Each structure stands twice: as C-alpha cells, then as structure tokens.
C-alpha cells in the first residue's frame, strides 16, 4: 500500500500493523507452533517461529528429568507455546513447558474420552493426596485412590512410571484427577478371572499368608486371594489363627469352594490331614473311661479334648453328683486334665457326650455301703426348712431329718426350733435311696428309751392292718407302762413285754383338762394306758384318755345304760369294784 508523505492516524496504524505481521501475528498467541533453533547462548536457546522477532527459551525446559541434558543443536526444530508475540524488549515470549503441557492436555483429553489408561509419575505430596506428572500435565491423586488397601508408606511408589486412570478433567480450570486404585482393581479382576478359570474345587495349591484376622487368614494364590477360615485350619480347636500360621508363611491349602458369582475362594488346611472322627464310634465306646484336657468352658458345660481334633462336651448336669446349678468354671478349669466317661457318640454330627461325675463313684452308693440303715452318723446342720433339717454327711452328701423324727413328745415345729444352722448333731440312718439320691435320718431315735431293734422290726403287715406295730403290742391293747421322763408335751414311757418305749401326749393324759397336766406324774410311776397307734418308726403311742373312755364304754354295756336311773358315777363305781373283786 502506497503511503502519502503525511499519513493520517489510520494510515499510520495500518502501516504499523503491517510491519508487525498484522492479523497473522494475532493467530500465534496462545498456540503451540514449530520453530527453529538459530542459536544457543549461555543457558537459553534462540528460536525463530516466523515472527518479526525471535524468542528465547531456557535450556532447562528442554532437559529430560532433574539435571538431564537438553540435547539441542542449532537448526533443530522444536515445538513451543507462544505466550506473547512481543514483549517490552521486542522479543517473542515462548515456552517449551507450556507447549508440552498443551500437547499433553490434547492427548489426555483424547485418552480420557476413550477410557484409556495414562502413564504418569508420582512426584510430590499435597494435602489429601499426591501430585502426578502426566508427561507435562500435573494431576491430583487422592490418598484413597493410591491402592486397594490403605498404604502406610508411599515412598516406594514415587518417581517411577506407572499407569493411572483419569477420573475427571477440567481444562479451563487446569484440573485433572487420576486413580491408581482403579487400574489395580481392573487388573486384579482380570487376573482373578484368568486364575479362577485355572482353579477347581479340591485342588491343592501353595499360597502365601498376606493378612490375618480373628476369623481366619487371607492367602495369596498368585494374584488372587482366598480365605482360610479358622475352623478349616486344623481339626483341633484353634482360638486364634496365629496359633497355626503367621504372615509371610508359605502354606499348602486345598480349594474347598469357589463361588462363581462373587469369585470368592474358600480354602482349607485340615482337609489335607486324616479325619480323626473316622472310626470314633469304635475308638470311644460308650461307658469307657478316658483322660482329656479341658479346652473351653461355657455356661452350659465344658469341652474336653480327647485327642487332637476330637472334643467332647461335659454338660453341666453331668459334672458333679452333689454340686447342682453351679457354673462349670467352679468345678473345672481350662487346661486341667480330667477323667471322663463316654455317654454317647455321634460320628455323623461329630459329637461326643461325656460325663465327669460318672467317672467318679456315686457318693450315695458309697454312703449306703459305708453306713447301712441303723448306723449312727454325725454332721453339721446345713439348712432348716419348714419340713425338716438337712445334715451334711461324709462324701459331700446331705441327709434329711424329717420334723417328726427330730424329738419325742413335741410338735415338729417346736422340734425344728430347737436346732440352728451350723450346729453339729448326731442321727440314725433310717433309709438310703440311691436312685433318688435321698438319705433319711432320725435324731429322736438316739434319745433315751428309743425303740430297740426288736421293737422297730415288727411285722409290717400287722402295722398296715392296724394290728401290731411295735413287737408284741397291738393297737387297742391296754398295758401298764412306766414313766421314763416328764416333759411339757407329755410323758415318755416304757411298757409291754419287749420293753417298747412310747409317748403319751399331753392331751391324752386324761379325759378332763385338769388331768392333762404332766407335772402330776413322776418318773418311775406306773400307769395303765391304751395303745392308740404307731409312728413312722413303729414306736407305739399310748393314751390314758383312750383307756378311760374304753372303760367307760365297757361299764355302760355291762352294768346298764344311764337311762335306768343310775348315775354314770354309780356305774363306774360298780365297774371298778367288780374289777377289784
């Protein structure tokens, strides 16, 4: 365009624009262009990108890695980013780093759209994660996306090329988020599928213990993990997996089950050993006595190991003959060696029922053998109930004294009040029932004048029929008895041909109330009394009142009814006179 000697303002602007490249120069800014190195001066490269002026770029931006060589020569063609066409010094502002980042962004956007993995290097640590160099573009790696499991030390993963998955990109904000975990999970899933196709149930394979929990261990089978449950480690009881294996151990395992849906693999170690339960029914016959070690104690019993892999249960009801409703931990302790008896064996359910008390003698049978009926025993009053006293005896068994067998001549309630808990007492063994685990005792039988052996062994048939119950004595018989002891409740007497002792209750001392006073009798005094019955020990009961009533009835029948005009006193007087004559 021809210029006039005196150009106008517009013409001058057009000439200036033409000298600087005009509209073409505007298209350079913000773009990556190719340029030629025209010179290398000190630490900068002079690059011509076709603009009016050249630009200078630090050689450091062309270096490969920290302290690397740039490898540039004059005449080499390179790509740079045009930040500004001209700065204050009249030079173009160029950047190799920006060019690399822009090229990297273009490539990453393409790979992100296709879902491809990208290579990068973890080179720094920031809040919440790490920075990754994706060939010039800087991305953020969250801490949760570093590995499948939490990683304590990330240093071994830094400064080494490795694949990442882009999760999010925002070029305008310059934001890229990547994940290493996604790559590992995808790779792991591919490896699992390949490995699972090669595995089969029942296969035996070597593995390395990677992790241990309370319920088992995870074993690496060469890229895929399997769970070795604690119950499949050994046939014997295993309280914690560390009793059998440790992290890093190489173990031989059998594939027990493969779940095709979840791709979970269950492993076992005990399956490689012989099953100790085979032939257990023959090895442990019912009734046999064995020794074992207590391995575990629960509310309902204790487990006893008979051999490695075989345990039996001693139920709480089979632990002691005498200790009832007691926690098993108060009878046995863990690791204690005990003797047990086999009660039941079920090899199919892998159960053995054991008895601890059966391996010991039955204390009631031993007591019956040592103390037959009639033996005298001594013990402490353990408890007093509304119906009797419980006495502690040899062999850690208790005997019961019924309230009617505590003392003569007083009520059972009064007899119970005579004794207290902790008192030492003596008694006679009345009966032992080993099946019902009961021992009946009597205390009053030891008192002076108690029935003799002959008196207490009278005919049972006679007693049942209402005839005899105390030797030669019969119910309704009138005998002369001697007062042995005067008590508030009545008289203890002795009479009959065999010298049977008995008791006359206070209410039976006479027909009238003023006659029912024990203090009107003396020891040694002889009295006529009628046998009214026998107690549980076949001891006779006498009654003066019953004798009086019987004589009155007899007199009336013999001398006439009181309707004849004679008084009852007259009739009795005649009767007594007749007996005297």
* pLDDT tens digits, one per residue of 259-306: 877 778 899 998 888 778 777 778 888 888 888 899 889 998 999 988
Please tell me which residue, 52 or 114, carries the higher pLDDT value: 114
> Are 159 and 212 found together in one domain?
no
> Are 159 and 138 found together in one domain?
yes
CA-based nearest residue to 341, from 351, 353, 332: 353
Residue 11 lies inside a defined structural domain of this protein: no
Specify burial of residue 398 (Cβ count, 10 A radius: 0-12, 13-18, 19+).
Answer: middle
What's the rounded Cα separation, in Å, for the pair 343 and 336? 20
Residue 305 lies inside a defined structural domain of this protein: yes
The DSSP result for 341-362, as a single string, is EEEEEETTTTEEEEESGGGS--
What's the rounded Cα separation, in Å, for the pair 40 and 58? 10
> Are 431 and 483 found together in one domain?
no
Say what percent of the chain tops pLDDT 70. Answer: 78
> Are 398 and 439 found together in one domain?
yes
The per-residue b/e assignment along 183-217, b for 16 or more CB within 10 angstroms, e otherwise, is bbeeeeeeebeeebeeeeeeeebebebeebeeebb
CA-based nearest residue to 342, from 354, 356, 359: 354
Residue with tokens 């956007």, as numbered in its chain: 109
CA-based nearest residue to 447, from 426, 429, 430, 432: 426
> Are 549 and 473 found together in one domain?
yes
Other beta carbons less than 10 A from residue 333's beta carbon: 12
Q: Mean of the per-residue pLDDT values for the chain? A: 79
pLDDT band at 574 (very low <50, low <70, confident <90, very high): low
- Cβ(123)–Cβ(161) below 8 Å: no
pLDDT band at 92 (very low <50, low <70, confident <90, very high): low
CA-based nearest residue to 328, from 288, 398, 338: 338
> Are 69 and 148 found together in one domain?
no
What's the rounded Cα separation, in Å, for the pair 61 and 100? 10
Residue 17 lies inside a defined structural domain of this protein: no
Residue count of the chain, please give it: 581
* pLDDT of res. 224: 79
What's the rounded Cα separation, in Å, for the pair 438 and 505? 31
The DSSP result for 132-163, as a single string, is EEETTEEEEEEGGGS-SS--S--GGGTTSEEE
Question: Is residue 177 scored above 90 in pLDDT?
Answer: yes
Compute the average pLDDT of residues 522-550. 84
Domain count, the chain: 6
pLDDT band at 35 (very low <50, low <70, confident <90, very high): confident
Q: Which two tokens stand for residue 563?
A: 């309707």
Residue with tokens 């080993």, as numbered in its chain: 434
Query: What are 315's strand-pairing partners?
Result: 301
CA–chain centroid gap for 262, Å, is 30
The DSSP result for 278-305, as a single string, is TTHHHHS-TT-EEEEEEEEEETTEEEEE
* pLDDT of res. 162: 92
> Which of 269-283, 315-329, 448-462 is predicted least confidently?
448-462
What's the rounded Cα separation, in Å, for the pair 198 and 36? 58
Residue 357 lies inside a defined structural domain of this protein: no
**Residues in CB range of 478: below 8 A, 6 or more apart:** 528, 529, 530, 531, 547, 550
What's the rounded Cα separation, in Å, for the pair 443 and 391? 11
Residue 21 lies inside a defined structural domain of this protein: no
Residue 500 structural domain? 459-559
Q: Which two tokens stand for residue 169?
A: 């990109």
* pLDDT of res. 572: 54
Residue with tokens 């086999």, as numbered in its chain: 342
Give the residue from 155, 184, 213 where a domain finishes. 184
* pLDDT of res. 284: 86
**Residues in CB range of 289: below 8 A, 6 or more apart:** 339, 340, 341, 342, 359
CA-based nearest residue to 430, from 419, 440, 420: 440
Residue 531 lies inside a defined structural domain of this protein: yes
> Are 376 and 406 found together in one domain?
yes
- Cβ(221)–Cβ(265) below 8 Å: yes
The DSSP result for 538-554, as a single string, is --EEEEHHHHHHHHHHH
Say what percent of the chain tops pLDDT 90. Answer: 9
Other beta carbons less than 10 A from residue 173's beta carbon: 7
Question: Is residue 537 scored above 70 in pLDDT?
Answer: no
> Are 554 and 476 found together in one domain?
yes
Query: What are 161's strand-pairing partners?
Result: 121
pLDDT band at 130 (very low <50, low <70, confident <90, very high): very high
> Which of 293-297, 340-344, 560-564 is predicted least confidently?
560-564
- Its pTM stands at 0.42
What's the rounded Cα separation, in Å, for the pair 247 and 213? 11
* pLDDT of res. 20: 47
Residue 285 lies inside a defined structural domain of this protein: yes
Specify burial of residue 122 (Cβ count, 10 A radius: 0-12, 13-18, 19+).
Answer: buried
Q: Which two tokens stand for residue 338?
A: 């005990």
Residue 18 lies inside a defined structural domain of this protein: no
> Are 341 and 384 found together in one domain?
no
> Are 295 and 344 found together in one domain?
yes
> Are 467 and 535 found together in one domain?
yes
Question: Is residue 563 scored above 50 in pLDDT?
Answer: no
> Are 157 and 239 found together in one domain?
no
Rg (CA), the chain: 56
Give the residue from 75, 100, 125 where a domain finishes. 100
CATH number (domain holding residue 390): 2.40.50.140
Question: Is residue 462 scored above 50 in pLDDT?
Answer: no
Give the residue from 303, 331, 352 where a domain finishes. 352
């Amino acid at each position: 365009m021809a210029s006039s000697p005196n150009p106008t303002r517009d013409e001058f602007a057009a000439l200036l624009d033409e000298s600087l490249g005009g509209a073409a120069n505007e298209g350079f800014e913000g773009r990556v262009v190719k340029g030629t190195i025209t010179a290398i001066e000190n630490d900068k490269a002079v690059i011509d990108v076709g603009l009016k002026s050249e630009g200078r770029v630090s050689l450091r931006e062309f270096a490969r890695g920290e302290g690397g060589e740039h490898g540039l020569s004059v005449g080499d063609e390179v790509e740079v980013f045009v930040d500004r066409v001209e700065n204050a010094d009249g030079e173009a502002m160029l950047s190799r780093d920006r060019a690399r980042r822009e090229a990297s962004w273009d490539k990453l956007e393409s790979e992100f759209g296709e879902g491809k993995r990208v290579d990068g290097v973890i080179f720094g640590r920031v809040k919440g994660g790490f920075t990754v160099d994706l060939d010039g573009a800087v991305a953020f790696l969250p801490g949760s996306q570093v590995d499948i499991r939490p990683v304590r030390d990330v240093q071994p993963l830094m400064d080494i090329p490795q694949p990442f998955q882009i999760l999010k990109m925002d070029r305008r904000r310059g934001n890229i988020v990547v994940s290493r975990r996604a790559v590992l999970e995808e790779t792991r899933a591919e490896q699992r599928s390949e490995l699972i196709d090669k595995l089969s149930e029942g296969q035996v394979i070597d593995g390395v213990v990677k992790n241990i929990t309370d319920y088992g261990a995870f074993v690496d089978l060469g890229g895929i993990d399997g769970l070795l449950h604690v119950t499949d480690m050994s046939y014997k009881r295993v309280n914690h997996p560390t009793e059998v294996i440790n992290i890093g151990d190489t173990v031989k395992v059998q594939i027990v089950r493969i779940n095709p849906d979840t791709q979970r693999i269950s492993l076992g170690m005990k399956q490689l050993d012989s099953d100790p339960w085979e032939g257990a029914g023959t090895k442990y016959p019912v009734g046999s006595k064995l020794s074992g070690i207590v391995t575990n104690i629960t509310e309902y019993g204790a487990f006893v190991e008979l051999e490695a892999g075989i345990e039996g249960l001693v139920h709480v009801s089979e632990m002691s003959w005498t200790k009832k409703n007691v926690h098993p931990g108060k009878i046995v302790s863990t690791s204690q060696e005990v003797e047990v008896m086999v009660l039941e064996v079920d090899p199919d359910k892998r159960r053995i029922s054991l008895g601890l008390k059966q391996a010991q003698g039955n204390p009631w049978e031993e007591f019956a053998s040592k103390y037959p009926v009639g033996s005298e025993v001594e013990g402490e009053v353990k408890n007093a109930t509304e119906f009797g006293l419980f006495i502690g005896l040899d062999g850690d068994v208790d005997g019961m004294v019924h309230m009617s067998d505590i003392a003569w001549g007083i009520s059972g309630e009064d007899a119970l009040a005579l004794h207290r808990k902790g008192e030492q007492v003596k008694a006679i063994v009345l009966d032992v029932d080993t099946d019902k685990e009961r021992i009946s005792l009597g205390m009053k039988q030891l008192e002076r004048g108690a029935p003799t052996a002959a008196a207490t062994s009278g005919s049972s048939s006679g007693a049942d029929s209402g005839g005899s119950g105390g030797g030669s004595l019969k119910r309704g018989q009138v005998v002369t008895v001697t007062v042995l002891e005067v008590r508030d409740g009545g008289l203890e007497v002795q009479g009959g041909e065999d010298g049977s002792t008995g008791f006359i209750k206070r209410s039976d001392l006479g027909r009238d109330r003023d006659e029912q006073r024990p203090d009107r009798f003396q020891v040694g005094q002889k009295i006529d009394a009628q046998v009214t019955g026998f107690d549980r020990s076949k001891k006779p009961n006498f009654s003066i009142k019953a004798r009086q009533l019987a004589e009155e009835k007899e007199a009336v029948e013999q001398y006439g009814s009181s309707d004849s005009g004679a008084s009852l006193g007259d009739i009795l007087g005649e009767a007594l006179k007749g007996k005297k004559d």
